Structures are given as structure tokens and as C-alpha cells.
């Protein structure tokens, strides 16, 4: 029993990636147990480890936590990445929830049927550049600070960086109109724990390839 958090998921980003980011940003080492087959999932379900029979599941501090938001909330609070009071938490929550919405769009792109992909891509670019990025660009401009909330690193910064990088994977010049987000990206990427996570060989997962989708479907469907 190492005492380190243990993550149960398939070997890919999905709904576990934000949790990997948060742990890494907090400088917390973790272990991973990858589901490779449907039997792996069934075994976890049968031995009562999954409260609602779903992954992600993270073993941490004696708990078998499920539900990605519950897990992220716990980690963020435990490692002081959730603001100093209720009002800062409210701001962080608003920003994080929006980032999650954009993340969902980015994540589901690989699963789109061929005839819907182009339209979906257009939606991603539209929402990113018209709905979400302008808000964060303005937040940074208005207060002129290095971090989104309370002049201090929080989960909002970590999750925004994660999403900015994913959006760039989708369209490399997507930040062209957002100078403050570009410098935010550089700044947060240089934080030692995050810099380490962004290096090859870390536990950060690559984007899902189309060829991996059938294997994934076999585990979960």
C-alpha cells in the first residue's frame, strides 16, 4: 500500500485527464490501473468498487471516489487550489464549469460520425473563440494578474491551460486573437510541477486516435 492515489480508467484522456492534471499540478504522485478489456470493468463493478458502476474511480485517503467532479473538488480543496473563501470558490466554479463544457465538445470530436465532423469542428471553433476564450481574455485583462482568481494558482488556471492546449491540438492557431491567453499559457506551462507534466514520459495522455475508438467501445458498451 503506497499511500499514493490510485487511478482506475482506460489508458487515455477521457474523464480522468483533468484529474491527472490537478494531481500533477499539486505535485502529487499517483499510480494508475488501466482497464484494457470489458472484463476489467466488470471485475471492478462486481467487487463493489464502483459506487455507480462507472469509472473514473480514484482510491484516495481511504475512499474509493467516483464522479469526476467530486474527485476534482476533493483534490482541489485538499491541495489548496480552490480559492480562499466561498466567493473565490464561486468564481473558480463558474470558470471551471465553462471550461468543462468546452472540454466536452473537444473530447467528443473523435467520436463524431464522418458526416458530422466538419460541422462539429465549426461548432468547437465558434464556441471557443466567441463564447469562452473572450471571457478569460477579459478576466486577465481586467485584473492584470498572473492567475484567474485571487492572484494565486487555482484549479481554474490548471483546467484552462489543459483546455487551451487541447483546443490548439484541434486548431493550432486558435489563440491567434487572444494575446493574454497566449501569455497565460506560457506562464502556467512554466510552473515547475506543470512543466514536468508537459514533458515526454509523464502521465499525461495523448489525444485519442480514431483507431483506438473500437477498443474503447468494447470496454464500455
Residues that bind other proteins (CB under 8 A): 51-53, 61, 63, 65-67, 69-70, 73-74, 77-78, 86-87, 89-90, 93-94, 96-98, 101, 131-132, 135
- Which helix (H) or strand (E) element contains residue 58? strand 57-60
Rounded Cα gap, residues 139 and 155, in angstroms: 16
Task: Answer yes or no: are the C-beta atoms of 60 and 10 closer than 8 Å.
Answer: no
- Nearest distance from residue 63's CB to other proteins, in Å? 6
Classified as helix, coil or strand, 36 is coil
CB of 6 to other proteins, least distance (A): 16
Q: For residues 36 and 126, which CB has a smaller minimum distance to other proteins in the complex?
A: 126
25 vs 58, beta carbon nearer other proteins:
58
Q: How far is the CB of 158 from other proteins (least distance, A)?
A: 17
Q: For residue 177, give the DSSP letter.
A: T
Helix H segments across 26-176?
38-46, 68-78, 86-107, 117-127, 133-143, 155-170
CB of 125 to other proteins, least distance (A): 16
85 or 115: CB nearest other proteins: 85
Work out how close the CB of 133 gets to other proteins at its nearest, in angstroms, rounded to a whole number. Answer: 11
Sequence-ordered list of residues with C-beta below 8 angstroms from that of 47, at least 6 positions apart, any chain = none
Left if phi > 0, otherwise alpha if psi is -120 to 50, otherwise beta: which for 56? beta
> Between residues 76 and 188, which has the closer beta carbon with respect to other proteins?
76
Residue 67 or 110: the one with the smaller Cβ distance to other proteins is: 67
Looking at beta carbons only, is 95 or 197 nearer to other proteins? 95
Q: Closest distance between other proteins and the C-beta of residue 128, in Å? A: 12
Min dist. Cβ of residue 209 to other proteins (A): 28
Tell me the backbone φ, ψ of residue 120, rounded to 5 degrees.
-65, -40
Nearer to other proteins, 122 or 186 (CB): 122
Q: Are strands 57-60 and 31-35 parallel, antiparallel or unpaired?
A: unpaired
What angle is formed at CA 194 by the lines to CA 140 and CA 176, rounded to 5 degrees? 45
Sign of CA dihedral 137, 138, 140, 144: positive
Amino acid at each position: 500500500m503506497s499511500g499514493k492515489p490510485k487511478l482506475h480508467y482506460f489508458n487515455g484522456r477521457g474523464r480522468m485527464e483533468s484529474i491527472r492534471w490537478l494531481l500533477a499540478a499539486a505535485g502529487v504522485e499517483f499510480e494508475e490501473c488501466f482497464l484494457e478489456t470489458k472484463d476489467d470493468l466488470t471485475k471492478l463493478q462486481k467487487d463493489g468498487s464502483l459506487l455507480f458502476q462507472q469509472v473514473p474511480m480514484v482510491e484516495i485517503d481511504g475512499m474509493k471516489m467516483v464522479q469526476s467532479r467530486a474527485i476534482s473538488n476533493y483534490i482541489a480543496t485538499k491541495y489548496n487550489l480552490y480559492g480562499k473563501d466561498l466567493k473565490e470558490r464561486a468564481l473558480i466554479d463558474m470558470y471551471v464549469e465553462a471550461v468543462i463544457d468546452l472540454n466536452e465538445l473537444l473530447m467528443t470530436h473523435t467520436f463524431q460520425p464522418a458526416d458530422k465532423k466538419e460541422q462539429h469542428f465549426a461548432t468547437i471553433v465558434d464556441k471557443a473563440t466567441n463564447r469562452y476564450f473572450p471571457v478569460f481574455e477579459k478576466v486577465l485583462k481586467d485584473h492584470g494578474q498572473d492567475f484567474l482568481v485571487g492572484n494565486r494558482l487555482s484549479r481554474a488556471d490548471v483546467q484552462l491551460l489543459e483546455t487551451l492546449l487541447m483546443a490548439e491540438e484541434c486548431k493550432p492557431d486558435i489563440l491567434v486573437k487572444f494575446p493574454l491567453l497566449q501569455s497565460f499559457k506560457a506562464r502556467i506551462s512554466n510552473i515547475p510541477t506543470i512543466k514536468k507534466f508537459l514533458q515526454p514520459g509523464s502521465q499525461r495522455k495523448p489525444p485519442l486516435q480514431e483507431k483506438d475508438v473500437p477498443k474503447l467501445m468494447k470496454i464500455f458498451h
